[in-house]
Amino acid sequence: MNTIAIDLGGTKIKIGIIADGQLLIQDEDEAHSGKGLGYDLPVIEAVVKRNLEKINLDLGDIAGVGMGFPGLVDNL
């Protein structure tokens, strides 16, 4: 099973692609946390696509995505 892990930090966005518990590839890019998540979503998309291409996978090969956020998330 292939999964994507995304860590949304205050200064860096870290992304890893994992298969059966093994890290296949990892990458990071600058975060712009002061501008809100909407600003960084295209960055996240580009990094994920770039790394999937490097290991010859596409989104159809991904079973799930895990995300870590700084601070509290309001579920309302």
pLDDT given at position 37: 83
pLDDT given at position 16: 96
Pair 20, 9: CB distance under 8 Å: no
Distance CA 68, CA 37 (A): 13
Residue 63: φ, ψ to 5°: -90, -25
Q: Give per-10-residue mean pLDDT for the chain (76 aa).
A: 93 94 94 86 92 94 92 68
pLDDT given at position 32: 87
The DSSP code for 38 is H
Pair 70, 33: CB distance under 8 Å: yes
pLDDT given at position 75: 66
Q: In sequence order, what are the residues at sequence separation of 6 or more whose Cβ sits closer than 8 angstroms to the Cβ of residue 32?
A: 39, 40, 43
